[in-house]
């Protein structure tokens, strides 16, 4: 039987740190309005966790293609919701595109700064899905060439 | 300034119309450059030098990439002589002369507007805090965001962020399209 992916050392290390990397990405995105980081940085970290999984364990092309379809759809949905948030600012706020229409709240709390955390999360999802989609596209292209 | 921008926009429109109707791909790409460089001058006139720098870089890079693509792909050459001999008498091809005159006029016009636009800018090395001062003073209070970078990125400049996300999605669509060509065959 042909073993897929890399050696056992890499697989075990990946199993240990992959979840930590993903949670760190979620932290960066969700605390983007409080601490350094944000949607772009956190999304890249989250995509890194997925890319590490695919690199270490490998997958067959059929399943990869299904995953790519899912991540591509997620990416499109995220940017659509981002745009709708801007339109919502126009509807509820003072007719300004991307108006911060929610209450600012107390500075320093997790639920503060109005729409900024939501926009951060959407951008994080968008960046993560986009990078993962690009990576998967290249992997599928390489696998099909064999 | 509005008059200058209007003139530049007319030049840009003329360049893009020629791009649509030109026979030669290379001249189409070069006349397409008028649009980009006209936009650079518009940005300079509107006192946005950082945008102008980004635009001029993007314009030059895309021009180089497009010209290299045309060089290695099927370029449809229009062979046209600058002079025509009829019964031993040499006539100058009027269309070639018109091309040369138009090119020179466009170059001089763009150079003139460029010189005109750079006069308005701050001297080299002098910084401007028109916008930044206001952001730093009231940014945290208005947005309620402890991280001022996120506050600027997603509140004051959320429209910019939408553009960045659009660039990302366009890149993904492009990569998927290019890589799928193989599967369709």
Residue spans per domain, chain B: 1-128, 129-185
pLDDT single digits (tens) A112-136: 777 788 888 888 999 999 999 999 8
Average confidence score pLDDT of chain B:
81
The residues of chain A scoring below 50 in pLDDT are 1
A96 near A90, Cβ under 8 Å? Answer: yes
Q: Give Cα A62 distance to the centre of its chain.
A: 22
Whether residue B155 and residue A126 make contact (CB cut-off 8 A), yes or no, is no
| Closest Cα in chain B, distance from residue A38 (Å) | 7
Whether residue B154 and residue A119 make contact (CB cut-off 8 A), yes or no, is yes
Question: Does A28 reach chain B within 8 Å, measured CB to CB?
Answer: no
Q: Between these two residues, A77 and B155, which has the higher pLDDT value?
A: A77
Whether residue B176 and residue A137 make contact (CB cut-off 8 A), yes or no, is yes
Nearest-angstrom CA–CA distance, B181 and A110: 46
Residue B103 has which token pair? Answer: 């090119």
Q: Which residue has the tokens 């006539």?
A: B91
- What beta strand segments (E) does chain B contain? 83-86, 89-92
Nearest-angstrom CA–CA distance, B145 and A46: 23
Whether residue B154 and residue A137 make contact (CB cut-off 8 A), yes or no, is no
CA distances in angstroms from B27 to A55, B10, B18, B22, B38, listed in the order given: 46, 19, 9, 7, 17
pLDDT at position A69, please?
85
pLDDT single digits (tens) B88-118: 777 777 777 888 888 898 889 888 888 887 7
Contacts of A98 in chain B (CB under 8 A): 155, 158-159, 162
Question: Dihedral (C-alpha) A26, A31, A36, A37: value to the nearest 10 degrees?
Answer: 30
Spell out the SS3 assignment of A85-107.
HHHHHHHHCCCCCCCCCCCCCCC
pLDDT at position B28, please?
85
Whether residue B146 and residue A140 make contact (CB cut-off 8 A), yes or no, is no
Residue B166, pLDDT above cutoff 70: yes
pLDDT at position B182, please?
61
Q: Using CB atoms and an 8 Å cut-off, which of residues 54-113 of chain A contact chain B?
A: 72, 75-76, 79, 82-83, 86, 97-98, 100, 104-108, 112-113
| Closest Cα in chain A, distance from residue B182 (Å) | 8
Contacts of B140 in chain A (CB under 8 A): 107
Of the candidates A82, A108, A116, which has its C-beta nearest B165's C-beta? Answer: A82
Taking Cα atoms as reference points, which of B92, B21, B148 lies closest to residue A107? B148
Q: Between these two residues, B11 and B82, which has the higher pLDDT value?
A: B11
Nearest CA in chain A to B174: A134
Nearest-angstrom CA–CA distance, B177 and B56: 27
Taking Cα atoms as reference points, which of B73, B63, B70, B82 lies closest to residue B25? B70
In sequence order, what are the residues at sequence separation of 6 or more whose Cβ sits closer than 8 angstroms to the Cβ of residue A82?
A119, A122, A123, A126, B162, B165
The answer, yes or no, to whether ipTM is higher than 0.90 is no
Nearest CA in chain B to A36: B147
Residues in chain B: 185
Look up residue B123 and give its DSSP letter.
P
| Closest Cα in chain A, distance from residue B180 (Å) | 8
Estimate the crossing angle of helix A39-57 against helix A8-30, to 10 degrees: 160
pLDDT at position A1, please?
42
Residue B42, pLDDT above cutoff 80: yes
Q: Give Cα B39 distance to the centre of its chain.
A: 5
For the stretch A22-38, what's the b/e string if a residue is b when 16 or more beta carbons lie within 10 angstroms of its beta carbon? bebbbebbbbbbbeebb
């Amino acid at each position: 039987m042909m073993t897929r992916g890399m050696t056992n050392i890499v697989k075990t290390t990946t199993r240990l740190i992959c979840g930590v990397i993903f949670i760190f990405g979620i932290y960066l995105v969700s605390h983007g309005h409080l601490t350094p980081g944000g949607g772009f940085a956190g999304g890249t970290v989250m995509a890194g966790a997925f890319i590490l999984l695919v690199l270490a364990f490998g997958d067959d092309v059929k399943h990869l293609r299904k995953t790519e379809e899912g991540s591509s759809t997620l990416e499109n949905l995220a940017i659509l919701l981002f745009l709708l948030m801007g339109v919502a600012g126009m509807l509820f706020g003072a007719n300004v595109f991307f108006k911060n229409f929610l209450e600012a709240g107390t500075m320093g709390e997790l639920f503060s700064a109005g729409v900024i955390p939501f926009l951060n999360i959407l951008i994080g999802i968008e960046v993560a899905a986009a990078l993962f989609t690009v990576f998967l596209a290249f992997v599928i292209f390489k696998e099909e060439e064999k | 300034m509005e008059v200058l921008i209007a003139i530049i926009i007319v030049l840009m429109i003329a360049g893009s119309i020629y791009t649509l109707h030109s026979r030669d791909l290379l001249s189409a790409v070069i006349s397409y450059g008028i649009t980009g460089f006209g936009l650079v001058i518009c940005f300079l006139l509107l006192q946005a030098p950082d945008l102008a720098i980004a635009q001029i870089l993007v314009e030059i890079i895309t021009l180089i990439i497009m010209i290299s693509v045309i060089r290695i792909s099927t370029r449809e050459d229009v062979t046209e002589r600058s002079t025509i001999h009829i019964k031993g008498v040499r006539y100058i091809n009027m269309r070639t002369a018109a091309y040369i005159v138009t090119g020179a006029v466009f170059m001089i016009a763009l150079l003139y507007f460029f010189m005109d636009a750079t006069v308005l800018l701050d001297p080299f090395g002098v910084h401007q805090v028109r916008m930044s001062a206001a952001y730093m003073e009231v940014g945290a209070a208005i947005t309620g965001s402890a991280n001022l970078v996120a506050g600027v990125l997603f509140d004051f400049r959320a429209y910019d962020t939408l553009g960045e996300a659009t660039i990302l999605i366009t890149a993904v669509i492009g990569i998927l399209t290019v890589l799928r060509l193989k599967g369709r065959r």
